[in-house]
Amino acid sequence: MAESRSRTFTWSDPAETLSGLSTLPGVEALRRTISGEVPYPPMAHLMGMHLVEVEAGRVVWEAVPGEEHYNPIGTVHAGFATTLLDSAMGTAFVSTADAGTRWTTLELKANFTRAITAETGPVRCTGTVVHPGRTVVTTEARLEDREGRLLAHATSTILVLRD
């Protein structure tokens, strides 16, 4: 039997994150997430990812892939990359949104260009808004290693929910 490994993480009440996003303009809420004033959502803690840059229409997330992200074939599961891509694209939109804007992802298309392993080291995922429509927004993201080599890229369509 293989040696057991464990990883422990903690997170804040997700309602605190939602509160920050619903009362502040998106770019400000994300900046306050970086500063620690608004907590990260639990998924960010689970995946070990954090925001490092935010401006209107562009965000950058970082994470370090590890063996806890591995699939049965000895590489990092595509879900790790897809989570970073989806988060970057969603928060790129959020960085342009007014306080309290509700939205959902309609579609996400990802392409994987290089295997990711624990030896890949830190990765950066940059998300940008391509089309800032009133109801339908399109975004894209690039996941790169520390040398700037493309690991994966994606596009997303976001539906802005109107009351």
Interaxial angle between packed helices 78-94 and 26-35, expressed in degrees from 0 to 180 and rounded to the nearest 10: 130
For 138-155, the pLDDT digits (tens) are 999 999 999 999 999 999
- The pLDDT of residue 20 is 81
For 124-140, the pLDDT digits (tens) are 999 999 999 999 999 99
For 30-44, the pLDDT digits (tens) are 999 999 999 999 999
* CA–CA separation, 144 and 123 (whole Å): 6
Over residues 5-34, mean pLDDT: 92
* CA–CA separation, 25 and 100 (whole Å): 8
**First-to-final CA distance of the chain:** 55
Q: CA dist 43 to 12, 135, 148, Å?
A: 11, 26, 25
Contact between residue 80 and residue 66 where contact means Cβ atoms under 8 Å apart: no
* Number of Cβ within a 10 Å radius of residue 163: 3
